[in-house]
Chain A
Amino acid sequence: MSAETTGGAAGGQGAPVGVVLVSHSGPVAESVAAMAAGLAGGGDTAPVAAAGGTPDGGLGTSAELIVKAARTVDRGAGVAILVDLGSAVLTVKSLVAEGDELPAGARLVDAPFVEGAVAAVVTASSGADLDAVAAAAGEAYGYRKE
């Protein structure tokens, strides 16, 4: 599954924060990216890239796809990386620790995957900075469903 960008620059407030969605599954990452961009709607949305599954289309996590996706969405304002589970979490953590693979300002954001993705893309599209994007995504944990 290749990293694909949707959207362009956010509405005229400087460079937008990029969002990378890392799932064990290519289709999950791509669908969540499309959904988040769709729900952000209304004008230009922040760049979002999916990094799902392994390069050969299997289930798993690919450091290579993650790095590629982060570079694709990097506009210089930082990159919020949201992950689903297991190796996706651990791989991004170790890439962040590595220090020189991801663009400067790339950060693992602690958030639920789908809800956090929507919050992150909507917030990034409004021109908010990386702290605000991370906070919005994290707040999605607080939304109870029963």
Chain B
Amino acid sequence: MLDAAFFVRWMTAAAAVIDREADRLTELDSPIGDADHGRNMQRGFAAVVKTLEAEPPATPGAALTAAGRQLISSVGGASGPLYGTLLRRAGKVLGDAPQVSVEELRSGLAAGVDAVGQLGGSAPGDKTMLDALVPGVTALSASFAAAAEAAEQGALATVPLQARKGRASYLGERSIGHQDPGATSSALLFATLAEVAK
């Protein structure tokens, strides 16, 4: 079973990984986006860690809800409301249970992923974060490691796709050949989750 401390460790580790990978995320966002994904995510997750430290959450649901809320208010780009919605919706589904099972986490995240699709009006194949999130969440029924691997493969599979959402969609065919930065950061979140669960 996973408790609030597990989720705080996940968010803290995610902040560290995003900090380390920020330049790469921004590089990916340069040819097809507005070259701010790394810095935006860095700012958002730093704020998440600060909040979770200042007010330690009592439950997994509270941890994810607080993190999501913080991302919406501090990221500054589209990834803020999107990741914010993912975590907040998942947190709401987990409710105020003091501990949750991996299966409960999976169904919470699945609801979060649905909400992200609704908010952005997007589906897998549009070259967005959903291309990593959807396979990642699905594979979570097998294991954390399988989820990390599936999300990573999903992110890599965005390279040949043409973007249909977001700023990259204005580029049409010129968006082909670049890995989607949002799918890449989503894969990092799953990789961190698998790391923390070890």
Specify whether A and B are partners: yes
Interface residues of A (CB under 8 A from B): 54, 58-64, 86-87, 90-91, 93-95, 97-98
Give the distance to chain A from B53, nearest Cβ to Cβ, in Å: 20
Q: Which B residues lie within 8 Å of A97 (CB)?
A: 85, 119
Q: Which A residues lie within 8 Å of B78 (CB)?
A: 86-87, 90
Contact bitstring B74-93, A, C-beta under 8 A = 1, else 0: 10111111101100100000
CB of B72 within 8 A of CB of A63, answer: yes
Q: Which A residues lie within 8 Å of B167 (CB)?
A: 86
Q: How far is the CA of A85 from the CA of B188 in the complex (A)?
A: 27
CB of B69 within 8 A of CB of A98, answer: yes
Chain B residue with minimal CB distance to A59?
A: B34
Q: Which B residues lie within 8 Å of A86 (CB)?
A: 77-78, 166-167
Q: How far is the CA of A63 from the CA of B43 in the complex (A)?
A: 14
Q: Which A residues lie within 8 Å of B119 (CB)?
A: 90, 93-94, 97
Residues of B in contact, count (CB < 8 Å):
21
CB of A90 within 8 A of CB of B76, answer: no
Q: Which B residues lie within 8 Å of A94 (CB)?
A: 72, 81, 84-85, 119
Q: Determine whether B149 belongs to the interface, using a CB cutoff of 8 Å to chain A.
A: no
Interface residues of B (CB under 8 A from A): 34, 36, 40, 69, 72-74, 76-82, 84-85, 88, 119-120, 166-167
Task: Give the residue of A59, A63, A90 whose beta carbon is less than 8 angstroms from that of B73.
Answer: A63
CB of B85 within 8 A of CB of A58, answer: no
Q: Which A residues lie within 8 Å of B73 (CB)?
A: 63-64
CB of B81 within 8 A of CB of A93, answer: yes
Give the distance to chain A from B85, nearest Cβ to Cβ, in Å: 5
19 contacts between A and B (CB under 8 A): A54-B76, A59-B34, A60-B36, A60-B77, A61-B76, A63-B74, A86-B166, A90-B81, A90-B119, A91-B80, A93-B119, A94-B81, A94-B84, A94-B85, A94-B119, A97-B85, A97-B119, A98-B69, A98-B72
CB of A63 within 8 A of CB of B166, answer: no
Q: How far is the CA of A94 from the CA of B34 in the complex (A)?
A: 21
CB of B72 within 8 A of CB of A95, answer: yes
A60-B81 in contact given A90-B120, A93-B119, A98-B69 (Cβ < 8 Å): no
Q: How far is the CA of A98 from the CA of B77 in the complex (A)?
A: 18
Give the distance to chain B from A119, nearest Cβ to Cβ, in Å: 24
CB of B72 within 8 A of CB of A91, answer: yes
Give the distance to chain B from A96, nearest Cβ to Cβ, in Å: 11
